[in-house]
Structure 1
Amino acid sequence: MRIRLTAGEAVLNATLDDNATARDFASLLPLTLQMNDLFKREKYAHLPRSLSAGGESRSSYEIGSIAYWSPGPDIAIFYDHDGQSIPAPGIVILAEINSGADAFKKYDGAVDVTIEAVD
């Protein structure tokens, strides 16, 4: 499944991973979230509810990864890499942005991001 993220004038396309957590995330769409900055590497926001387990937990990410962090429950969009690993319990990758994740660098603070499914 493809999704679209809109933040200000930036419109980015992403592809959902094939795992139970990503499918549960898709059931929440469309969503508009106020996403805050963390460590100048990611935008994050609290989700309205926890997602089901089923994706592989990992401690690393790539630029363009959209990930779920269960303790929040939060979603994070990684737009830069600082070389640090993600603390336990790790993240589950929900999707990968096809290109242009660095568009989030221009938003120093919070930004509203709309995430929707694309046919």
Structure 2
Amino acid sequence: MNIRLTTDGHVVHAALNDSAAARDFASLLPLTLELSDFHQTERISDLPRRPATDGAPASAEPKAGDLAFYAPWGNLAIYYRDAPRADGVVVLGRLADGGAEVLATAVRVTIER
């Protein structure tokens, strides 16, 4: 499923993967979220509810451009740098080329289908 993230007048396209978690995340859209920086690697925000993670891998090694859910905290993570493998990271999809750079400093984002 293709989605669109908009911040400060910039549009970033992304594609969600075909996982149950990504489909459940898509059911939350549209969303407008306030983002904060985490470890100079990702932009994070709380979600209104946690997407289901049944059948998801127990861990992932997120790359710059990945859109993910961090199950232990219940937040969305938009990676603008590569990160080490971590338990509880569920990759939901991928930003189009250049999207990670656009979102690296975003403070507010609207995500919609």
Aligned counterpart in structure 2 of residue 113 of structure 1, from 106, 109, 113: 109
Look up the equivalent residue of 2:79 and give its one-letter code. F
Please, what TM-score do these two structures have when normalized by structure 1? 0.85
Q: How does 1:36-75 map to 2 (within 5 A)?
A: 36-54=36-54, 55-75=56-76
User: How many angstroms apart in 1 are the aligned matches of 2:103 and 2:34?
Assistant: 13
User: How many angstroms apart in 2 are the aligned matches of 1:12 and 1:57?
Assistant: 28
Q: Identical aligned pairs, as a percentage?
A: 40
User: How many angstroms apart in 1 are the aligned matches of 2:38 and 2:11?
Assistant: 21
Q: Is the 8 A contact 2:36 2:43 kept in 1?
A: yes
Q: Is the 8 A contact 2:60 2:91 kept in 1?
A: no
Q: What whole-Å deviation, never above 9, does each CA across 1:41-90 have from its counterpart, x for those lacking one?
A: 11000001111123323231111000001122100000112x5332x3x2
Q: Is the 8 A contact 2:59 2:85 kept in 1?
A: no
Aligned counterpart in structure 2 of residue 94 of structure 1, from 86, 92, 95: 92
- Structure 2 gaps of 5+ residues are none
- Structure 1 gaps of 5+ residues are none
RMSD: 1.5
2:23 aligned residue: 23
Aligned length: 111
Please, what TM-score do these two structures have when normalized by structure 2? 0.90
Tell me the SS of whatever aligns to 2:35: strand
User: How many angstroms apart in 2 are the aligned matches of 1:102 and 1:34?
Assistant: 17
Q: Is the 8 A contact 2:62 2:84 kept in 1?
A: no
Q: Is the 8 A contact 1:80 1:102 kept in 2?
A: no
User: How many angstroms apart in 2 are the aligned matches of 1:94 and 1:28?
Assistant: 13
User: How many angstroms apart in 2 are the aligned matches of 1:114 and 1:94?
Assistant: 16
4+ residue stretches of structure 1 with deviation over 4 A? none
